Amino acid sequence: MRPTKLSVEVVTGERVVYAAEDVDMVVAPGADGQLGILPRHAALFTLLSAGEMRVKKGAAEQSLVVFGGFLEVANNRVLVLADTAERVEEIDIERAETARQRAQSRIADRSVQWDLARAHIALQRSNVRLRVAGRHRSRRGSHPPGQPEP
């Protein structure tokens, strides 16, 4: 008898970001903390927060960043309906760093009335992207994300 595995799908309003069968584990940023989902997990519906989502399949692990949305677990299927999501290799580090600096500048600039909530959200998103991309790069070496290893 074949062991039970998970199927996983991460979807945004624009596209299917990730889909896989025969997954061993999913770790996702729930609204109340990290969620670990294994095969035969109880049915679950929860909010997601901004953070790293990891999908483990054998010895391989795929990292994604998700920003808000919902996660549903039912019948060994994990469905993520994310506000925004991207694979780690899609993260543009220079763009994320520029966004982080811009958000920090807007938060610090008290002379101009910026929308501070939007600036804090932009800062959080860029920090998540940079943290996840940095961790991924340190595991694989120092080549740019999305580029083949030498």
Residue 13 φ/ψ region, left for φ over 0, alpha for ψ in the -120 to 50 degree band, beta for the rest: alpha
Phi and psi at residue 26, to the nearest 5°: -125, 135
User: Looking at domain 92-140, does it have CATH number 1.20.5.440?
Assistant: yes
Q: Which CATH superfamily is domain 6-88 in?
A: F0F1 ATP synthase delta/epsilon subunit, N-terminal (2.60.15.10)
Question: Are 108 and 38 contacting, i.e. CB atoms less than 8 angstroms apart?
Answer: no
pLDDT tens track, the chain, 150 positions: 557 999 999 999 999 999 999 999 999 999 899 999 999 999 999 999 999 999 999 999 999 999 989 999 999 999 999 999 999 999 889 999 999 998 888 888 766 666 777 888 888 889 898 888 888 776 655 444 444 443
Q: Where in the chain is the domain with CATH 1.20.5.440?
A: 92-140
Q: Where in the chain is the domain with CATH 2.60.15.10?
A: 6-88
pTM of the model: 0.76
Q: Is the dihedral of CA 52, 77, 10, 71 positive or negative?
A: negative
